[in-house]
Amino acid sequence: MAFVNKTKYLLAPPYCKTAETFISPIPGSPSELSDGLKLAGGWRCFKNLRILQKKKDKLIEVQMSFQEFLKVAKNYSKSSLTEAEFQIDNLVNKRLPFAKLDMSKSHIMGVINMTPDSFYKSSQTNNINILNKKFNEMINDGASIVDIGGESSRPGAKKISVFEEKCRIFEPLKQLKNCKIDTLISLDSRNLSTMKSCHKIGVDIFNDITAFKEKNKIEFISKISSPVIIMHMQKEPINMQINPKYDFAPIDIYKFFSKKISDLIDAGVKKSNIVVDPGIGFGKTLSDNLDILKYLPIFHGLGVPILIGVSRKSLISELTIYDYKLRGKNKINIKPSKRLSGSLAFAIHAHMSGVQILRTHDVFETNQALICQKSINL
C-alpha cells in the first residue's frame, strides 16, 4: 500500500509519460467559493484540487487551484493542457439524468434484503406484507430508489443458486411493480438469469456487485438500455476480506472504473445509464475504506454519478472500537444495530463531497440528516 506524501511540487508535469496524474476536487459551498466551478452541475463547488501523482512506488499530493493546474499543464505541452482541460470538464459537466432522476440533486436509495442472512437483521425480510410496509415507509421517508436483493453479499457469504434467489424476490418484486408506484426499484443481483426475469416485470435499475464483468451481462444491459450501477469488489463475498491488497485504493478503483466505463460504452451502453459505486467494505481494509472516503471527490473525474453505501458497515465498528482502546477501554464489537450515528456521519460527508446517491438502510434518519445539513449549508 502506497503512502501519500504531501509536497509543494509535482513529481513530473501533468499527464506526462513518466508519472500518472489524477485530480480530486476540494468541494465547498457556492457561498464560500463564489469564484469556483460547480461540481458535476450539482450543489457543491470547487476552486482547489488535490493533484495526485504516482511514479513507481512514489505517491504524492500537491494542492493547487484549478487555474494554477491548467497553467502548469500549459507550460509543459499542448497535449498536457488538452488532457488537463478534459479532466476539469469531467469534474464540471452537469450529469445527465439517471433513470429520469435529476443528478444535480442528492438522492437516497433504501435497502431491503429478501434474505435470511444479511449482516443487518433489520433490513431482512421474507414476508411480502413486511416488504410492502418497509417499501412504502421508504417512499414516504424520501427514497428515490429502493434496492432489493435476494442474495447476501456480506463478507464470508456463500453464493446461493439462481433458483433460490428468484424464489425469494420474483413474486414480491412483481407485486410491487403492479402497484404502479413512482419510486424506482433497483435489483441487487449478480446473476444474468435473475436480471432477465426481473426486467420482464419492469425493474428499473440493475445493481451488480461484480460490475457486469461477464460479456453476456454487458450485451444484455446494452440491448435493453437499462440504467446500471457498477460496483468495485475484489474477489467474491466469500473471500473478499481475506488479505485485500491495493497500491492505493482510490487510484486503483478509479482506473478500474475508467476502463469499465469505456468498455461498457464501446459495447453500446449509454454513459447516462451508468453510476459507479466504489464498494466500501467489499474487499477493502479499514485504511482502504478511509482512503476512498477521504478522496471520494476523485470519482467525479469519471464523468458519471457516484453512489456510496456505508450504511451500518463494519468500518464504523472498527473505528469505534479503536477509540475505546485509545481511552483504555475494552470493547470487542459494535453490532450493526449500534452503527446508525456513524452511518449518518459518512452519509453527510458523501453529500458534502457531491455524491449523488446515498444507499442506506435508514431512509428517514438519512433524509433528516440531509434536511438539517442543507438548511445551514448556505
d(CA 253, CA 233): 9
**237 phi, psi to nearest 5 deg:** -50, -35
Domain definitions of the chain by residue range? 4-92, 107-376
| pLDDT tens string 318-357 | 999 999 999 999 888 899 999 999 999 999 999 999 999 9
d(CA 63, CA 48): 7
d(CA 287, CA 282): 13
Q: In the block, which residue shows the cell 437483521?
A: 121
CATH class of 107-376: alpha beta
pLDDT classification of 159: cutoffs 50, 70, 90: confident
Report the alpha-carbon angle 130-132-135, nearest 5. Answer: 105
Packing angle, helices 340-352 and 314-326, rounded to 10 = 110
Q: Please identify every residue annotated as catalytic.
A: 313, 359
| pLDDT tens string 242-260 | 889 999 999 999 999 999 9
pTM of the model: 0.94
